[in-house]
Amino acid sequence: MHTPENLFSQTGLSIKGHMELNGNHEAVVEGCSGILEYGETVVRVCMPGHTVRFTGRGLNIQCLTADALVVTGYITGIEFLS
Amino acid sequence: MLSLKLSRWLLGYVRFDVHSGSPERFYTCCARSGAYLWDIKPGISGGACILARKYRTLRSNARRAGCRLKVTERRGLPFLLYRTRGHAGLWAGGAAFCLIVYLLSLRVWCIQMPDNNSIPREKLEAELASAGLTRGTLKSSIDPQAVSERIMLKFPDIRWMSVNLRGSAADIVIRCKTEKPKIADLKSICNIKASATGQILSMKIFAGTPAVKKGDAVTEGQLIVSAVVVDQSGGSTLTHASAEVTAETKHSFTVSVPMKKHEAVPTGRTLYRRNFEIFGARLPISLHGKPQGSWRISAEKFDVSLFGTPLPIGMYEERWEEVRVKDSLMTKSQARAAAEAEIMKQAKSAMKDGRVTGKKITEKWGKDNLTATALLNCEENIAREAEIYLK
């Protein structure tokens, strides 16, 4: 059985933190350290060691705390940038 | 989610816009400093929401990110209370409102009663009032069990009754008794005798031996059907005779009708006195006092109900119609009609299931009255049970 961390490891990525997707309209990101870019079509979030880029339409940050955020909207893509 | 919204509203929150600088940096700084932001809007003039007491902590983060903040909305209970700080009357009014609602909720304001034909509503209301259940009575002073027991004792027609107190309404539930059918006493021995003098038109014998036949003339008290039944072997048995005997009878009635009559004639002047009822108190909304003279009064009550629940408000309207007592003389035809109506009324009460087939009325006109004597030909059931007592 592959845990999410192992799955990312197999793809060559080493990701720390936790991300949970609810369909394609909500993403809960835990362990983020800041927002790099925020617009209606793109949200770039800084994670330890890499960056996650959400693309879509009508994106919105529902709530933000020191180490977590919730992105809502019509998410069409998630990219992991090192 | 609702509890989250409620707690935010209770604590109070502000919505602010972020202008110029780097909003992303600002949001990141806020998050790192421990400020909890929600509903963050993107764009140049985007903004977010934060608890009102935390807003001041955002200033240093805004300076660091080169942003300017502008509060656009203030929401929640603290702001609502702050707006009313200079209006002591509002606070007093709110407190008075809460107090009045609390005090009113301690009493019964609506009594819901089912429409019942066997027990008049007015009588039931009066009895409930004497049992201590009226509009405005303290709920704590009402014992539903005692009230229902008292009402059931007062009205024997009630089989079961319940008084349910729901909020400020008392719901009365009543179940009436079903009348027992009359059971014929067939154990006793009785003859059938004639209840009136007449000529027999038809006979239906259910039990017993007929003593007369169709077409015979009988006098009052004469034996029609005997209880003694003789069988084929010559033995006799006693039974409860039963029969339906229709006979042509004659009845005489005399009535006297006065020619003078006193009647109240409306003059055409009417007056309405209206009262507004609220919580059992009647507030007059018409300026008319009680008029002098002869008046005929009729009253009507309008209750207001909401979704089938009567409210403790309504309208009570009295209609006063002025009348003048007038002595008038009846014409001969009017007197004749009145006499005939009275005769038919007496005949109906004398014969329960009979009918009048012919009548002959003789009139005697007095100075101020008419005496009418009617001889009625009737058809009626003259069978009357006469019990035989055996030792």
Q: What is the pLDDT of residues B299-348, one digit of tens each?
A: 888 888 887 777 888 899 999 999 988 888 888 888 889 888 998 888 88
Torsion angles phi and psi, residue B172, rounded to 5:
-100, 125
Q: Is B31 on the interface with A (CB under 8 A)?
A: yes
Collapsed DSSP state (helix, strand, coil) of residue B86? coil
A17, A79, A21, A25: which is closest to A52 by C-alpha? Answer: A79
- Contact at CB, B43 and A59, closer than 8 angstroms: no
- The C-alpha atoms of residue B277 and residue B371 are separated, in whole angstroms, by 53
Show which residues on chain A lie within 8 Å of chain B, measured between beta carbons: 33-40, 46, 59-67, 69
- The C-alpha atoms of residue B133 and residue B126 are separated, in whole angstroms, by 9
Q: What is the pLDDT of residue A53?
A: 94
Q: B240-260: per-residue pLDDT in tens?
A: 898 999 999 998 989 998 888
Sort out which chain A residues have CB atoms less than 8 A from B30's CB and list them: 64
Name the closest residue on chain B to residue A64, using Cα atoms: B37
Identify the structural domains of chain A with CATH numbers, from first to last: 16-81 (2.60.40.2000)
A50, A55, A58: which is closest to A81 by C-alpha? Answer: A50
Q: Six-digit token pair at B312?
A: 């403790």
- The C-alpha atoms of residue B200 and residue B48 are separated, in whole angstroms, by 106
Q: Is B40 on the interface with A (CB under 8 A)?
A: yes
Name the closest residue on chain A to residue B24, using Cα atoms: A35
Closest-CA distance of chain A to residue B78, Å: 23
Q: What is the pLDDT of residue A75?
A: 95
Apex CA B273: angle with CA B271 and CA B279, to 5°?
Answer: 165
Q: Is the pLDDT of residue A11 over 70?
A: no
Sort out which chain A residues have CB atoms less than 8 A from B42's CB and list them: 38-40, 59-61
Q: Please indicate whether residue B220 or residue B180 has the higher confidence score (pLDDT).
A: B220
Q: Is B1 on the interface with A (CB under 8 A)?
A: no
Q: Which pTM was predicted? A: 0.47
Q: Six-digit token pair at B381?
A: 């059931």
Q: What is the pLDDT of residue B178?
A: 84
- Contact at CB, B32 and A66, closer than 8 angstroms: yes
- Output the CA–CA distances (angstroms, integers) from residue A33 to A16, A45, A70, A82, in the order listed: 11, 8, 13, 15
Q: B75-119: per-residue pLDDT in tens?
A: 999 998 888 888 889 889 999 999 999 998 998 888 888 777 678
Q: What is the pLDDT of residue A1?
A: 42
Q: B195-204: per-residue pLDDT in tens?
A: 889 999 999 9
Mean pLDDT of chain A: 84
Q: Is the pLDDT of residue A3 over 80?
A: no
Collapsed DSSP state (helix, strand, coil) of residue B353? coil
* The one-letter amino acid at B260: K
- The C-alpha atoms of residue A47 and residue B52 are separated, in whole angstroms, by 30
Q: Six-digit token pair at B118?
A: 């066997």
Average pLDDT of the segment spanning B135-154: 90
Name the closest residue on chain B to residue A43, using Cα atoms: B42
DSSP 8-state symbol, B114? -
Query: Could you say which of A34, A39, A69 has the minimum Cβ distance to residue B42?
Result: A39
Q: What is the pLDDT of residue A13?
A: 56
Q: Please indicate whether residue B43 or residue B359 has the higher confidence score (pLDDT).
A: B359
What pairing do the DSSP bridges indicate for beta strands B37-40 and A50-64?
antiparallel
| Other CB atoms within 10 A of residue B301 CB | 10
Q: What is the pLDDT of residue A14?
A: 56
Query: Could you say which of B28, B34, B39 has the minimum Cβ distance to residue A35?
Result: B28
Q: Is B49 on the interface with A (CB under 8 A)?
A: no
Widest pairwise Cα distance in chain B = 133
Average pLDDT of the segment spanning A5-23: 68
Q: B270-302: per-residue pLDDT in tens?
A: 989 999 988 778 898 888 788 888 888 998 888
Closest-CA distance of chain B to residue A28, Å: 14
- Output the CA–CA distances (angstroms, integers) from residue B352 to B198, B340, B345, B382, in the order listed: 16, 19, 11, 11
Mean pLDDT of chain B: 88
Q: What is the pLDDT of residue B164?
A: 92
Q: Is the pLDDT of residue B135 over 70?
A: yes
- Contact at CB, B31 and A64, closer than 8 angstroms: yes
Q: B163-182: per-residue pLDDT in tens?
A: 999 888 898 998 888 888 88
Average pLDDT of the segment spanning B206-233: 90
Q: What is the pLDDT of residue A7?
A: 53
- Contact at CB, A69 and B39, closer than 8 angstroms: no
Q: Is the pLDDT of residue A2 over 50?
A: no
Q: B6-23: per-residue pLDDT in tens?
A: 999 999 999 999 988 888
- The C-alpha atoms of residue B119 and residue B116 are separated, in whole angstroms, by 6
pLDDT band for position A9 (cuts 50, 70, 90): low
